[in-house]
Structure 1
Amino acid sequence: MTSLPKHEKFHEGSQQGIKIYGWTITTNKSPISNSREIEKVQKEVSIPLPEMFFGNNSLKLTNDYGILFEFSPLDALKMVDATAEGGEKVKVAYSEEWKKKSAKNHEHIKDVIKPYDWTYTTSYSGTLKGSVDDQVFEKATDRIDMEKLRKIEDILFYDEIDLFEDELADNGTAILNVKIRVMPSGFYILQRFFLRVDEVLFRLNDTRVYHEFGTEYLQMEYSSREEQYNKIKAVSIYKFLKHLKHLFLTFLFYLENT
């Protein structure tokens, strides 16, 4: 049996985390921001806050050399397009789908034509607040080794933190959250912005961060994907029917052999 590396877990109030190999990883999970907190945040951003804004939630990574890397809901919100053009992006890019949806629900849909990106789409990929010798993330050809991450390891620490969520005036949903898992070999972070605009589109903006203990760098990858709502819906229905067919054939085989 392989011995686990020396580590220390901690949990105090809304914070919990782990200390390992010179790193301190801290998550903070609190209720939705109250009116006083929302009023304070609203002074820093020019768009209305999402319906569920977890302003006190965060994921922070620090190490003995001065690195401070954080995932913050406020910093993520600051990267939402606050211009009038931002409010038209989905409408223009998916004009045909938008027209169909608008025709079905004209009174409701006009509520979400707003002078900012009402989908709360953000390309936020974390905030580097402290570094060694003013280092920053640099472009690289190396990719995160996903095969290595698929290997079975002990999970020394895991957490999932909600940053914000909005139901887009009952026209879909926008969610930003971040997950972290710490293994004996390193830690892996996935921040995901998920968007669904009913009858129009799905969108995923993913930020992945990986550190292998013993190395001197963090790896970060950002990707953005989107597809028309009906195409995703068709694929989902096809997979469901295929699964249903498999269950039916399995049931027939069982009947024939009993």
Structure 2
Amino acid sequence: MSSSSLEYKLIKENNSTQGISIEGWKIVTKKLPILNSQEIEKVQKEILVPLPEMFFGNNSLSVSNDDYGVLFEFSPIDALKLVDSTKEGGEKVKVAYSEEWTLKSSKNHEHIKDVIKPYDWTYSTLYSGTLKIASKGQKFEKTTERIDIEKLKIPEPILFYDEIMLFEDELADNGTAVLSAKVRVMESGFFILQRFFLRVDDVLFKMNETRVYHEFGTKSLLKEYSSREEHYFKIKAQIPVYKGDDISQLTNPDWVSSKLTNSEELILENLNLLGGNYSKI
């Protein structure tokens, strides 16, 4: 317990599970190694695309509140279920960035042809979390209310912080696709960022981000989903000149995110924690 005026309790169930209980909310992260062969075989029956090279199928980040009857979580299995499993999905990048793809392919034709597969081999997912339980019949509804990012920048004590990896793939050495999530809990509320980061070398960058925020004392769980992408060389051109040939910043999702422009897609939603059909759970 710190000097916070809020009552809270840190959770440490074992080496893989930790979190915090605060203001009626329980926020928990689970971190385990990548799936073993038996687990892979079981999960593959649910997923229509081959699993990424590093698939943390047992990892999760969940927020729940028994008073409101709500359980919301980020699951790697649910995320992969939204990856396009069709042949058309496998050619999306090639079609959308035909000029860049042709240039890349001509440089390394024998290698690049291997990543044209009958599914979206970039593992791009629109996943924005799973509302697993809503005992009052609540659901996320469209809203015009935005998460106050400037308010989140105001320094305040962090009572709990963690980050989990959901999956990662190096795209046959042609880039990287990473899905991760992190959470921080402050005295004012909690904030979650799930990020899908895609880099296809010499072709494009893509960032699908889901932000979830709850301010303690309110009855809303706000969620924002955004999708941004840009040509690879437009982002590379923003590396400071003094960096010379150092392109390491292109592997830094935070730096790339700061260089991507306005969202090509923005979905604002709110879960009314007092909504639904029952007056009391």
TM value normalised by structure 1: 0.91
Residue in structure 1 matched with residue 20 of structure 2 by the alignment: 18
Does the alignment pair 1:221 with 2:220?
no
SS of the aligned residue for 2:106 comes to helix
Residue in structure 1 matched with residue 9 of structure 2 by the alignment: 8
8 Å Cα contact 2:210/2:225 also seen in 1: yes
Amino acid at match of 2:113: K
SS of the aligned residue for 2:51 comes to coil
Q: CA-to-partner distance for each residue in 1:107-131, whole Å, 9 max, x for gaps?
A: 1101100000000000100000111
Match of 2:86 among 65, 83, 89: 83
| In 1, Cα distance between equivalents of 2:155 and 2:147 | 17
Runs of 4+ in structure 1 deviating by more than 6 angstroms, as ranges, are: none
1:1-258 correspondence to structure 2 within 5 Å:
3-13=4-14, 14-64=16-66, 65-238=68-241, 240=243
| In 1, Cα distance between equivalents of 2:242 and 2:117 | 36
SS of the aligned residue for 1:218 comes to strand
| In 2, Cα distance between equivalents of 1:216 and 1:101 | 50
The structural deviation recorded for 1:239 is: 7.4
| In 2, Cα distance between equivalents of 1:4 and 1:31 | 36
In structure 1, stretches of 5+ residues that fail to align are: 242-258
The structural deviation recorded for 1:139 is: 0.6
Q: 1:173 to 1:212 in 2, by over 3 A?
A: same
| In 1, Cα distance between equivalents of 2:3 and 2:18 | 26
| In 1, Cα distance between equivalents of 2:38 and 2:242 | 47
Residue in structure 2 matched with residue 255 of structure 1 by the alignment: none
Q: CA-to-partner distance for each residue in 1:83-120, whole Å, 9 max, x for gaps?
A: 10000000000000000000011111011000000000
Which structure has more relative contact order (CA 8 Å, sep 6+)? It is 2
Amino acid at match of 1:8: K
Q: CA-to-partner distance for each residue in 1:201-238, whole Å, 9 max, x for gaps?
A: 00000000000001111000000000000110011144
In structure 2, stretches of 5+ residues that fail to align are: 245-281
| In 1, Cα distance between equivalents of 2:241 and 2:57 | 40
Rg larger for: 1
Aligned residues: CA RMSD: 1.3
| In 1, Cα distance between equivalents of 2:227 and 2:108 | 29
Higher helix fraction (1 or 2) = 1
8 Å Cα contact 2:4/2:187 also seen in 1: no
